[in-house]
């Protein structure tokens, strides 16, 4: 699997909904921390940052996926951040990717992403800091 395939998997797991930058970052982080199996060889590396675990490569790769018409990145004027979603072409790629993953892994990712989507930004960051306090050291989050 390509590293970028994980972005496609996470966005497809959102069931057509858009993900915020924090939701995308934290979904990929929590997959790395919790996914069963040996799928982390070609994966993202996270460092403590302003709001917990962060990997700049995720945004670079998402932009490349957008250039390939696999991902859509839209600027939300009302919320003042980008929103990420999968395209029809991305769904086609997803259908090929999931053949490499066990069903329990796919189910885990779907449950994880849908759980993250239900949390507010403050709840999500608080959850990360409670469970992974080592990622709080450079935080600007006061919630």
Rounding to the nearest 10 degrees, give the CA dihedral for residues 53, 55, 59, 60. Answer: 180
Confirm if 93 and 9 have CB atoms less than 8 A apart.
no
pLDDT tier at 38, thresholds 50, 70, 90: low
Does pLDDT of 36 surpass 70?
no
**Is there a domain that residue 142 lies in?**
no
Tally of domains in the chain: 1
**Is there a domain that residue 82 lies in?**
yes
| Gyration radius (Cα) of the chain, Å | 14
What does the mean pLDDT of the chain come to?
Answer: 92
**Is there a domain that residue 143 lies in?**
no
**Is there a domain that residue 113 lies in?**
yes
**Is there a domain that residue 38 lies in?**
yes
**Can you give the residue range of the structural domain that contains 28?**
5-136
Q: What is the pTM of this model?
A: 0.92
Provide the CATH number for the domain around residue 62. Answer: 1.10.10
Q: How many helices (H) and strands (E) would you count in the chain?
A: 6, 4
């Amino acid at each position: 699997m390509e590293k970028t395939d994980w972005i496609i998997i996470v966005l497809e797991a959102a069931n057509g909904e858009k993900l915020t930058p924090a939701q995308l970052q934290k979904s990929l982080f929590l997959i790395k921390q919790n996914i069963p199996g040996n799928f982390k060889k070609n994966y993202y590396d996270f460092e403590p940052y302003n709001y917990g675990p962060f990997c700049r490569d995720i945004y670079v790769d998402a932009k490349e996926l957008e250039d390939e018409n696999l991902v859509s990145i839209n600027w939300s004027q009302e919320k003042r951040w980008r929103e990420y979603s999968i395209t029809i072409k991305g769904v086609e790629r997803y259908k090929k990717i999931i053949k490499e993953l066990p069903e329990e892994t796919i189910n885990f990712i779907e449950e994880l992403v849908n759980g993250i989507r239900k949390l507010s930004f403050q709840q999500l960051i608080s959850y990360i800091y409670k469970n992974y306090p080592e990622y709080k050291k450079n935080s600007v989050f006061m919630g």
